[in-house]
Amino acid sequence: MTAFAPRRLSTTALIHLALAAVLAVGGAAVALDGGNLFATANLVDMLTRTSLTGFLAIGMTLVILCRSLDLSVGYVAALSSLVAATTMDGQAANVPLAVALVLLVSGLVGAANGAIVAFLKVNPFIATLGTGLILKGYLDTEYQGPAGDVPAVFQQFGYTRIAFVPVSALVMLAVAAAAIGFLRSTRTGHHMYAVGGDVDVARMSGIRTTRVLLTAHVLCGMCAGLAGLLLAARFGTGSAEAYTNLYELDAIAAVVLGGTLLLGGKGGVAGTVAGVAILAVLDSVFNVMQIDPFAKDVLRGAVIIAAVALYARRQLDRTARRPRFAATPRRPS
């Protein structure tokens, strides 16, 4: 595993440099416009934006590393917000139960995704699109409007901040740290890279690939559950409408922007967090400069393509150094 460290570090370093550049350019642009990107209100806005996409993107990183995908996270988050709000029902005492129930439900949806992908061999794109549609049908039928009531204690999760750092962003960073630790120093974490790199080789090396895939999907579902808890805390109620925001595409964009290969086997959560931050900074800059919201989508699309084209260029150099049918095995450095 140490062989991977220098490469992963360098990609992550590049993304953090990109984040710094985006911050600098954004700050300069806002300053020219007569504003201050680093004013407290703007910093709070930026960090608040990171937490929701952050939860989803951390889980998404795990499944993408395994060469899978999860298009159902937006629906899982919406379902989780409803489960949380209806279980709490305005009672502070119900909070622990609600959190546990959300993690259970979202984990189960993740397990269903993982089982369909791993055992039924359905392409993850189709499998998770399908479970997403099933959830959408359930949500639209059962909940016509907002439901449930989140007690003030739990709404703190959405609004409290320490200095200019929202608690939700801190929790997201803690989850990110846990995920980094999980990928770097647990056996299952290492197996995820192996499964994403080449599932057949992984299986022949004695890794129980289906179990690894299942774990990744369960964790991804639970991350979406956390995002749902945050949605409930922010809105003060559960809302089925949350899925219309296409969070899953945002999360995938952040993961890819963070340098994780969509084809699996390479990348990490540290890059993903930077990817989420880049998107959040861009959004904040557009907001402060009052750029037309539709121009935001155009710029976003262009930035994502440009970034991935840049990574692909680096990737090309690397494959040139590491031919596919190399006669001699690569020496670990």
Partner 1 sequence: MTRVRALGAALQGAGTVFLLLALTFAAIAVVNPGFFEAPSVMAFLKQAAPLVVLAAGQYFVVVSGNFDLSVGALVGAQVVIAARLIDGVESRTVPVMLVMLAFGIGVGLVNGLITTVLKVQSFITTLGMLLVLYGAIRLWTGGAPTGDLSEAFRTPGRLGITGVPLIGQIPWALLIMLAVGAGAILLMRTRFGRILIASGDNELAARLSGARVDAVRTAAFVLSGISATIAGVLIGGFAGVSAQVGEGLEFTVITAVVLGGVALGGGRGTALAAMAGALAIEALFTLFNQMALPATLRPAVQGAIIIAAVAYAARRRLRPAPQPTAAPS
**CB 79, CB 139: distance < 8 Å:** yes
**Complex with partner 1: residue 96 or 301, whichever CB lies closer:** 301
- For residues 247 to 266, the per-residue mask of contacts with partner 1, x marking binding by CB under 8 A and - elsewhere, is --x--xx--x-----xx---
**Interaction between residue 65 and partner 1 (CB under 8 A):** no
Kindly report the number of other CB atoms within 10 A of residue 246's CB atom: 11
Query: What does each C-alpha distance from 167 to 77, 237, 269, 278, 330 come to in angstroms?
Result: 19, 19, 20, 20, 45
CB nearer to partner 1: give 88 or 127.
Answer: 127
Please state, in angstroms and rounded to a whole number, the distance separating the CA atoms of residues 47 and 303: 20
271 binding partner 1? (CB under 8 A): no
Binding letters toward partner 1, positions 139-178, x by CB under 8 A: -xx-------------------------------------
Only one residue has tokens 């409803």, namely 82
CB closer to partner 1 out of 294 and 328: 294
Please give the structure tokens belonging to residue 133: 């549609």
DSSP sequence for 160-176: -EETTEEHHHHHHHHHH
Give the integer Cα–Cα distance in Å for 179 and 112.
Answer: 21
- Cβ atoms of 128 and 70 within 8 Å: the answer is yes
Q: How many residues sit close enough to partner 1 to count as binding (CB under 8 A)?
A: 51
- Lay out the site mask for partner 1 across 212-251 (x = CB under 8 A, - = otherwise): -------------------------------------x--
Q: Examine residue 33 and tell whether it contacts partner 1 (CB under 8 A).
A: no
- Residue choice 29, 111, 122, 173 for contact with partner 1 (CB under 8 A): 122
Q: Tokens for 218?
A: 């369960």
Which residue in the set 121, 326, 327, 333 belongs to the binding site for partner 1 (CB under 8 A)? 121
Taking each continuous run of H as one helix and of E as one strand, the counts in the chain are 13, 2
Q: Given candidates 21, 39, 104, 295, which one binds partner 1 under the rule CB under 8 A?
A: 295
Q: How far is the CB of 188 from partner 1 (least distance, A)?
A: 13
- By C-beta, is 161 or 208 nearer to partner 1? 208
Q: Which two tokens stand for residue 204?
A: 């022949």
> Does the protein bind partner 1 through residue 207 (CB under 8 A)?
yes
Nearer to partner 1, 93 or 325 (CB): 325
Indicate whether 312 belongs to the interface with partner 1 (CB under 8 A). Answer: yes
Q: Minimum distance between the CB of residue 163 and partner 1, rounded to whole angstroms?
A: 34
Distance CA 19, CA 227 (A): 23
Nearer to partner 1, 89 or 140 (CB): 140
Binding-site member from 108, 134, 147, 171 for partner 1 (CB under 8 A) = 134
Q: How near is the Cβ of 328 to partner 1 at its closest, in Å? A: 20
One-letter amino acid of 43: L
| 301 near partner 1, judged by CB under 8 A | yes
DSSP letter at 265 equals S
SS3 of 238, please? strand
- Give the closest residue to 239 by CA, choosing from 143, 150, 158: 143
Cα dihedral 137, 142, 146, 152, rounded to 10, equals -110
Interface contacts to partner 1, rule CB under 8 A: 116, 120-123, 125-127, 129-138, 140-141, 203-204, 206-209, 249, 252-253, 256, 262-263, 292, 294-302, 304-305, 308-309, 312-313, 315-316, 324
